[in-house]
Every structure is written in C-alpha cells, then in structure tokens.
Amino acid sequence: MTKPPKSAPSSLPARLAMPVLVAGMVFLTAFVITVPLDVTQQLLFSAAVFAIALCLRNRPGRLIPLILMGLSLVMSTRYMYWRLTETLGFGNILDLVLGSGLVMAEIYAYVVLVLGYFQVAWPLNRDPVPLPEDRSTWPTVDVFIPTYNEPLSVVRTTVLAATVLDWPADKLRVHLLDDGRREEFRQFCEQVGVNYVTRTNNSHAKAGNINAALKKTDGEFVAVFDCDHVPTRSFLQMSMGGFLRDAKLAVVQTPHYFFSADPFERNLDTFGRVPNEGELFYGLLQDGNDQWNATFFCGSCTVIRRAPLEAIGGVAVETVTEDAHTAIRLHKAGWRSAYIPIPQAAGLATESLSAHVGQRIRWARGMAQILRVDNPMLAKGLSLAQRLCYTNAMLHFFYGLPRIIFLTAPLAYLFFGAHVIHASALMILAYALPHILQANLTNIRVQGKHRHLLWNEVYETCLAWYILRPTMVAVINPKLGKFNVTAKGGLVEQSYFDAQIARPYLLLLLLNLAGVITGIVRLVMADTSGETNTIWLNLGWTLYNMIMLGAVIATSSEQRQIRRSHRVPLSMPAHLHLPDGRALACRTVNFSTGGMAVQLEQAEPLQPGTEVQIELRNRGRSERLPAVIRHDRDGQGISLQFQKLDLEQERWLVTSTFARADIWVQLWGRHDRDTLLRSFADVSRASARGFARLGHFIITGGRRSAPATPRSGDSA
C-alpha cells in the first residue's frame, strides 16, 4: 500500500499567507492614515477617495456598503489622527478648555460612527420560520396588554385584535393588565371574553405589572403588546416558528410601526415622505443586531419564552428601560434572540412634542442606568459582538452634550477669538470636509431608506438639551428618576407655539445670530487673509447651525390635530347599502375606528345624513356595519361615520382592517432613498417655516391656544 505523502514544506507559507496579507493591509492602512500631507496633497488624496466612493455608491451587492464603510473609516480615522497629533497646541487656558470640549465631542462622534458601521455591517434579514402543520404541537401563549392611564378608546382596539389572533383557541389566553384598576376596563374584559388582571400596587411600573401577571399565568410563551399597539391576526404564526426550531431562542422581536404621525412628522409635514425617528432602529439597526445575536427586546410586539424569563427573575426592574435590560440578562444567560423585520402590529405615536420629549428622556435615562449598573462591556456571558451592539445603543443617548458643543463651538472664535482647533482654516477644511462627506455618502447608501441624514440632525438637536441632564445624572446615580408613562390618544385642538419646549433653542439661536453679527464685524476689521479664512469658516458653521435650529423651532410649533381616530389608507372592495335597498359597488380609501372613506365605482350623489350600511368582506366572510354619510365630495369620495357598533361588529371591523398584516407591510419602509441635496433643501424649507412661525409668535405677543387634551371617544 502506498503511504500518503507527507505534508509538503510549501504548506507553511500557505498557512502564513492570510496572516501576512492581513498584516500587510493593516500596515498599509496605518500608513495611509498617518502619512503627513500638505493642504494641496490632502485635498487631492481626499478627492481621489471620494471619486472612488461616488463610482461605487449605486452599484448593487452587499459588499459595496462594506467597501464604502472602509473608505469612510480611513478618512475619518485620518482626520482624528490629525486632530489628536497636530491641532492640540492650545495657547491659553480659554483655548484649552473650549478646545478640549470640542475634541472630546469629536471623539464621541467617531466612536459612535465606528460602532454603528460594525452594527449594520451585514444585516441578517431573517425570514419567518414556518410552523408545523399539526396544530396540536403548537405551544400555549399568554398575551399581555399592560395599561395604566390610557383611555379605553385606545385600549379596546388592541384587545379586540388580540382576541382574533390566528392561533388555536385552547392555546391562547388574552390578559389585560390594568395598573389603573378601573371598573369600566373590568366590565369591558367580561364583555369581550378576556382575563382582567390587576394588582394592589404599581411597584416598578410596566415591568412590575408584567412580573405580577407572570405569577398568575402559565403559558409556555408570553406575547407583550403596548395597549395602543394593535396586533395583526398573523402575528403569532409569523413569530413562533423559530422557537420550535431553536430551543435556545428566548425572544422574537418585530417592528414598532406607527400609523399616526409623531410630532416631528406632523409639525414638519413629513409624514409618509421622510422616515420617522424610530425607523432607523426598526428598519436597519435591529436587523444588524440580529446578525450578532444582539436583538433587543423592545417592550411590545414581542414574544418571550417563559422559562428563561422566569429563570432570570422576570422583567428587569432596576432601570426604566426594562426591555433592553431584560434582553441583556437573557443574552448573559446564554439565550438567543431574533428579529423578524416585518411589521405585525401598528400603534399610535405620541401626539405632542412635550410628550415625545418626555418619552425620549425616559429612554435616555434608562440606557444610561444600564450602562452604569449592568455595563455590557464588563458583563460576563456576552460575546464581543453583543457587547459592542449594546454599548453603541447606550452611547447613542449621550449625544446631548456633543450636539450642544457642535452648536456653539464656532462662537468661541467669533466671540472670543479662541482657537479651538490649532490649525489654519484651509487645513481644517482639507481634513474635516472629506471626513464628513465620506461618512454622509456612506450612510446615505447604508441608511438611505431608513434615515434621512439632515432630518436626523434636526431630531437630535431638538432632543439634545433635554436628554443631557438625565443621562449625566443616571451615570452618577442610577437610582434617581422615575418611570413616566407616555400619553397616547390626545388631541391638539388648535395650533400653538410651544415656547417652553423651544426656550433653550431660542437662546442658542440668539447666540448664533449674535455670532453672525460679530463675525461680520470681525470680517470688516480683519488684517490678514488667514484671519479672514478662519472667520468665514466659523461663519459658515454658524449659519449651518442656525438652519438646524430654525427647523427645530418649526417642530416646536404644534400643528392642529383634531381627528380622534387616525385614518389609515386601505383599498379593498366593498358595497354601500342604501335605505332603498340598492347596493353600490365601491372601494375603500381609508379607515379608522370611527369611520371610513369610500369611492363609488359609478359616481352617484348621496345626501349627507343618509343612514347606510357598509359591507366589508375579508377571508371569505362579509358583514354589514351601520354608518351615516358625513360628506359627499362630488366624485372625490364619500366620508362615512360609523354609528353605534355592537361588540361583534366592532370586532369584525378590527378583524377586517387593523388586524390585516398586508396594510402595514405595504406602508412599511416605502421611502425614497435619501440624497444630501434633497435633505438640505427640505430642512432649509422647514427652517424657513420655523423662523416664520417664530415671527408670528413674537408679533402676536406669545398668545397660544389650548394644549392637547385627552380624547373622550371616537368620531370620524
């Protein structure tokens, strides 16, 4: 028998090839980052890299974003290396203090950029796992709907939708967890056939409410919905299959989709055109987290396996972001999580900017608390990738101070002549501009359908002042602060300017305006071209800040929102039954809990006030709902207001509208890809509106109308 040949000596070089290649790439990258260049050479090098990125940005393929990230990191790291080695020669104590603050803010932004690229480097895009055909093998599920002070008009749609989930009736139990202990809620639960669960105290808010319910139930899995998040019928069938395939899977999270405009979208008139603040997280970041087994539990639209949840002591109660904290503990215990990037529920966004800010303050405080009490970089049991994903999520909420520093940094030179960057204006542009442009170009490719760059600047600028103190305090003492419930279901009966929310930004605007005036004066008095260039650089930065602040002021101008039931677009065949017995074929245009708009196939004038029935058909069944004609818009559509519906009619309305997953799938992530010029033009227009609204507020002497009030019922 011939003996197998011994390994050839050439196998050693083969084994060394990859380490040598990696080492060579690291050395080459380090050389590119650190090699000194003069202004002309730096501009030529930056232009060449940017040209390569421009050629690649629209090419298909999953490798292209990675290449763009690599080019961006080279330019950003080169900028940071230059900043830290060439620009810190501060001449006096004022330069030192102000310059150190700016460089720390830039280091923060750089770290978040690097971690963000890692987080979304290769989104998983997980598909749902099919369930077994034998329904007897499907597990039991408890559906928890926590509530505290929300009106029944908000909660009842969610409860009714939960009762029609496509799941075996003997394996599904719906529980309304009422921390408000309200008799009308108990009676409603009796009528609709769900369990009413309460407790004698409100300890630990939502987390305590869920933990108390865990002790009173025994389903193998728990699905959690905020009381304004209406689940679709397919929710459990889309989310449960993975649990049966993977015994170590503890959490399956789905997106939070909102069918009403949040205050930014309403006040800036961007609803449906520009991705909202949360779409980046649910449209991209959670998908990126999923690749690293770091999907967060987000408190709603979620299924959790009961056994691991009970094993870690239930939902975490030590912080006010109990959901993310619970996810960390599950991951530390070795359990896995998953994200299904398909909306299977839809909810209400906050109605007023003040409520929206309050919600973000709670999120920021909670993530800072977790960083302090359960730091993911130090916690045992997490992988390196999980540590980085969680750390990035927490660091994100510390943008308050850096954002304010960026809004005021150019004023240091304009007011005091302080050199916060010890370099010429041309050299600053040669290094900083490529860093900024390359990062923006990369993020447009990576995030373009989920976040529009300059709108994100507006969001963060608006919230920066308000999250600054809570995050700093939470790091020092994580026990300070309390859980606040985000109000939903309110009205903005008349437009008004929220001067209280806008106050810090009005002050920043005045400072920047004074900076522009001072800069113009300095231009007139400048002696050298170098000084002139520095003034122009800081003036340009200040004018950009003023554009951002103008858009923030536009968000503070609350626009009227008087619709008690938010309309959702829906096109489906229907029939309108008239009192004379005729049935007119039509298609729905939109719907709400209080009414519906339809378009007749053959136009026919109908008298407002006429009592009719609208017949809806879904899944092979049809029902008629009583309604009255509110408006006939001369061939443009007929507006119907539902009359008093009995419980089964209301359940049918929910079944054939809100509980249809195809509605939310069609509306989810349908935004055009961002471009820098389009974003700048849109934000500039919003800024102009902000200045106009501020002028109106000043002219009218600050008079304002009544603020948002709770809604008491539904109407079309």
> Which residues are identified as catalytic?
179, 323
Which pair of structure tokens corresponds to residue 156?
Answer: 């009842």
Q: How far apart are CA 303 and CA 102, in angstroms?
A: 43
Name the DSSP letter for residue 380.
T
In this structure, what are the phi and psi dihedrals at residue 630, rounded to the nearest 5 degrees?
-95, -45
Residue with tokens 């298609």, as numbered in its chain: 587
User: Could you tell me the CA-to-CA distances from 464 to 130, 349, 460 in Å, in that order?
Assistant: 43, 20, 6
User: Could you tell me the CA-to-CA distances from 486 to 398, 496, 623 in Å, in that order?
Assistant: 21, 21, 36
Residues 6+ apart with CB under 8 A from 206: 146, 148, 179, 299, 322, 483
Q: How far apart are CA 220 and CA 268, in angstroms?
A: 45
| H-helix segments, 164-285 | 183-192, 205-214, 235-239, 241-245, 263-268, 279-280
Strand 141-147, strand 221-224: pairing: parallel
Q: Which residues pair with 628 in a beta bridge?
A: 611, 641
Q: How far apart are CA 66 and CA 69, in angstroms?
A: 5
Contact in structure between 149 and 180 (CB atoms under 8 Å): yes
Strand 490-491, strand 302-305: pairing: unpaired
Q: Which residues pair with 222 in a beta bridge?
A: 142, 304
Residues 61, 64, 65, 67: is their CA dihedral positive or negative?
positive
Nearest to 716 by CA among 607, 592, 614, 599: 592
Residues 6+ apart with CB under 8 A from 92: none
Q: How far apart are CA 28 and CA 70, in angstroms?
A: 13
Contact in structure between 516 and 543 (CB atoms under 8 Å): yes
DSSP assignments along 103-165, one per residue: HHHHHHHHHHHHHHHHHTSS---PPPPPPPS-GGGSPPEEEEEEESS--HHHHHHHHHHHHT-
Q: How far apart are CA 200 and CA 212, in angstroms?
A: 10
Which pair of structure tokens corresponds to residue 340?
Answer: 């299904």
Burial of residue 645 (CB within 10 Å: 0-12, 13-18, 19+) is middle
DSSP assignments along 466-501, one per residue: HHHHHHHHHHH-TT-S---PPP-SEEB-S-EE-HHH
Cα angle 14, 17, 21 (rounded to 5 degrees) comes to 170
Residues 6+ apart with CB under 8 A from 545: 406, 407, 410, 508, 512
Cα angle 660, 665, 64 (rounded to 5 degrees) comes to 165
Q: How far apart are CA 474 and CA 361, in angstroms?
A: 11
Contact in structure between 80 and 86 (CB atoms under 8 Å): no
Strand 568-569, strand 257-258: pairing: unpaired
Name the DSSP letter for residue 277.
T
Q: How far apart are CA 536 and CA 359, in angstroms?
A: 39
Residue with tokens 């003069």, as numbered in its chain: 38
| H-helix segments, 589-708 | 647-656, 661-667, 676-699
* Entry field: residues in the chain: 716
